[in-house]
Amino acid sequence: MYFQETKQKLGTGTAFIYEYEEKFYLITNWHNVTGVNPITEEQIGSHGGIPDLLEFTILVKQIPYIEWGHFTVNLYNDNTSDWLIHPLYKEKVDVVAIELDFSENFKGIFKPINKIKFDNFKLEVSDDVFILGFPYSLKGGGHFPIWKRGSVATEPDLDYDGLPKFFIDSASKSGMSGSPVIFKRNGIHGAYGGSLQPDSLIGEIQGFIGIYSGRLIGESKLDAQLGIVWKKEVIEEIIEGNLRDSRKFL
């Protein structure tokens, strides 16, 4: 995240691409694009700057060697925010969608997360999860993310605080805000009453479950180690709602 006028880098986060009705959207957190804590409404950074430009990196070439491309997105158009927020909960859901305008000359190699073949099994408490992000801006080789492990800590079918979110137990770090969260489970899946069913699977299953947006912070940064995950369904609710943020930050 940058402030264009001074070219000052304000912070780093994580984002991923989602495709809906043949359009591509960059999905990340509301607090990443505003620099404001959605709960306290205080500025997050000590620098006092408000981001107005995002720079993101995409794989553009694999053969004969890997190459990365850097692309920018203006966060404002005529001083109006260019990101979509949740139509009902607005910034209380700490997720935004930014439409990407890829020209015909764009040569990026990517696969939207909702076009990846995942297994269709229900998420359960204690399932292993992985947050794919960049803790403290660290990378997992090239510009690939680091898979940080955790587990589902609250009932995923319930909405915590009346909002579409649940908690994971994870020692996650700054720089991971906006990360996709993937669950994995090994064993026998879809067996009922001790009997295998036609759709049962044996082995590992995995699925996309939501968007990570930071940790619960108390008196100590290590006291709870609970991360917040917004349910994946909010993405299409945001896109279909087509509501731009009306608040002024610049």
Q: Do 177 and 29 contact (CB within 8 A), yes or no?
A: yes
DSSP state of 65: S
Q: Do 135 and 148 contact (CB within 8 A), yes or no?
A: yes
What is the architecture of the domain spanning 2-244? Beta Barrel (2.40)
Other C-beta atoms closer than 10 Å to the C-beta of 225 total 17
Residue 30 burial by CB count (10 A; 0-12/13-18/19+): exposed, middle or buried? buried
Cα distances (Å, whole numbers) of residue 179 to 18, 176, 199, 218: 13, 6, 30, 22
pLDDT in tens, 26-66: 999 999 999 998 888 888 876 667 899 999 998 888 888 88
Handedness of CA 114, 115, 116, 118 (dihedral sign): positive
pLDDT in tens, 81-140: 999 999 999 999 999 999 998 766 667 788 899 999 999 888 999 999 999 999 988 999
Other C-beta atoms closer than 10 Å to the C-beta of 78 total 5
pLDDT at 187: 79
